[in-house]
Amino acid sequence: MGHDDTMDVLCSGFGLVESPRWHDGRLWFSDWTGGRIVAVDDSGATEEILEHRSLPMCFDFLPDGRMVLVSNQERALLTLEADGSLTPYADLTGISDLGCNDIVVDRQGRAFVNSPHFDFAAGPPPGEVQPGRVGVVSPDGAARVVAEDFAFPNGMAITADEQTLVVADSYRHHLVGLTIADDGSLTDRRIWADLAEDNPDGICLDSGGAAWYADVPHERCVRVAEGGEVLRTVDLDRGGFACMLGGTDPAYLYAVTANWPGAEGLMTHTDWDGQVVRVPVDVPGAGWPAR
């Protein structure tokens, strides 16, 4: 850790918090167990943006500024319209009939959506080839699978040059790189970074070409270079579910953190004590999710 490691709690009192996004000068995040999406400014003032029940419940923003939400209640992408309504945008059953997880939207409005494609409560199936997949939803709403064989695909980010999708494969302890073709297809799969025993959840990229990932069981966020060199570690006091770079002068790494009971406790646990914390960083964010 460097010279500027003062961490502060921006807001607290939430459930299982996930999917942080920097948008319009605030950090937006989802409270999965609370069934809501919240925005917080740098003074710690929060605003509830919407209520919706979905596990998981990840979101991003389209180029026109509308929020687009992965709804496993609806098995669809929904957009948040100006009147506050949630409107169907794309059917996700073609990507998975078992529910989808994370999302990242590129400059062209293509939404990459992934799914572990197994029953989370039952755990992953045996076998070397795993069922997780990544799909792409084009701006016209058509959805198709573009990569398979992930043990548990989690956070995703797109590099600033728009050439590479980085996918956290939590159960294989890898960040996976895939080259993005003009039609949204994914090719040239490679291990972008081997994370040893770490379990990457939500991720983001910075202008130095590195990735930050949050780790639930090891209660930390880690900055890692392509190839796997660890550049910085930020220790947390509870599970780190996702992280996002944002803010200005200084830039901050924001992390959404909560007490994790293990998969078996997901539906019954109540002592989440979810928080948003932040720590200054020297290298600002880049790529997508956009900052």
User: For residue 212, is pLDDT > 70?
Assistant: yes
Q: What confidence tier does 250 reach under pLDDT thresholds 50, 70, 90? A: confident
- Predicted pLDDT of residue 5: 67
CATH 3.50.50.60 fits 8-286, yes or no: no
Q: How far apart are the first and last CA of the chain?
A: 23
Provide the pairing of β-strand 164-169 with 8-14: unpaired
The C-alpha atoms of residue 15 and residue 13 are separated, in whole angstroms, by: 7
The pLDDT of residue 224 is above 50: yes
Higher pLDDT, 3 or 106: 106
Range from 45-59, 97-111, 191-205, 266-280 carrying the lowest mean pLDDT: 266-280
**188: pLDDT strictly greater than 80:** yes
Give 69's pLDDT tier (boundaries 50, 70, 90). Answer: very high
What tens digit of pLDDT does each residue of 107-119 get?
999 999 999 998 8
- pTM of structure: 0.95
- Give the mean model confidence (pLDDT) for residues 94-108: 95
Q: What does the alpha-carbon distance between residue 10 and residue 154 come to, in Å, rounded to a whole number?
A: 24
Domain spans, the chain: 8-286
Span of 94-108, 130-144, 259-273 with lowest mean pLDDT = 259-273
pLDDT band at 1 (very low <50, low <70, confident <90, very high): very low
- Mean of pLDDT values over 259-282: 86
**Quick one: 76 exposed, middle or buried, by C-beta within 10 A (0-12, 13-18, 19+)?**
buried
Q: Which of 64, 57, 105, 103 is nearest to 82 (CA)?
A: 64
Whether the link from the prior residue into 250 is cis, omega within 30° of 0, is yes
State mean pLDDT over 214-238: 97
Q: Tell whether the model's pLDDT for residue 82 goes beyond 70.
A: yes
